[in-house]
Amino acid sequence: MGGGGFSMEPENLALDQFVLSCAAQENPRVVFLPTASGDAEGYIEHFYWAFESLPCQPSHLSLQRREVSDLRSFLLGQEIIYVGGGNSFNMLTLWRAHGVDKILKEAWEKGIVLCGLSAGSVCWFESCLTDSFGPELQAMNDCLGFLKGSHCPHFDSEERRRPTYTQMVKEGKLPPGIAADDGVGLVYRGSDLIETVSSRSTAKAWKVDPSGTATAIEPRILDPVPRDFPAQEES
């Protein structure tokens, strides 16, 4: 997801409900990986606030305060692995230190649904545009590499994303790839893009070719999924 989901659209859980529908099982086990946020407690609470209202069995995995000894058994026992946003570089570094990167590759090969937004979206590709190193957007060419090419989230919501991404692809600093406006989900089966969906009527995905030209991909608009009860108050 280029952006959206429970953390950006708490009033509309359409993308999150769509993620659950991708699992082969009803009432799937879904684990949240908030690594990129530094395992922020508020982010974890917000995940439970959203997913406890949906037909699933939610849990989370913190690496900063790790309470799971057998990461492989825990992660491979899920139907869905949902990765949150934040600092992509820090997340990938910590995953590699704990061996999570190798487990995620095994999960992907096993057919477990892998998803996420922002940092949790770019991580699956070979390369991405990132703000992990400060306010200036930079190329990062050391992502997990499950999906070929590069990825850029927040294509419509952050002013410098579109011109920086297209220019870096044109200059060869990033390989050609796909960008996503906030609210857009890219659906892959294996390594093939099979569909794009959106919780927002005006949002699009964008295929960016080696010349840096961005061509719109019109997504299927999802029906709204309103939250059943009011959001929790800030503490």
Catalytic residue among 37, 118, 150, 199: 118
How much is the pLDDT for 235? 35
> What tokens appear for 101 in the block?
């990167």
Each residue's pLDDT tens digit, 198-211: 999 999 999 999 99
Each residue's pLDDT tens digit, 128-155: 999 999 999 999 999 999 999 999 999 9
Range of the structural domain that residue 123 is part of: 14-220
Would residue 135 count as lying in a domain? yes
| Helix, strand, or coil (residue 186) | strand
How much is the pLDDT for 109? 97
pTM (two decimals): 0.95
Would residue 57 count as lying in a domain? yes
Catalytic residue among 46, 60, 151, 154: 154
Would residue 133 count as lying in a domain? yes
Q: What is the mean pLDDT of residues 163-180?
A: 98
Confidence of residue 227 (pLDDT cuts 50, 70, 90): confident
Domain count, the chain: 1
Residue 98 known to be catalytic: no
Would residue 48 count as lying in a domain? yes
| Helix, strand, or coil (residue 169) | helix
Would residue 227 count as lying in a domain? no
Query: Which residues have CB under 8 Å from 174's CB, separation 6+?
Result: 127, 128, 129, 139, 141, 150, 165, 168
Would residue 225 count as lying in a domain? no
Residue 46 known to be catalytic: no
Do the beta carbons of residue 32 and residue 6 sit within 8 Å? no
Would residue 229 count as lying in a domain? no
Mean pLDDT (the chain, rounded) = 95
Would residue 67 count as lying in a domain? yes
101: domain CATH number is 3.40.50.880
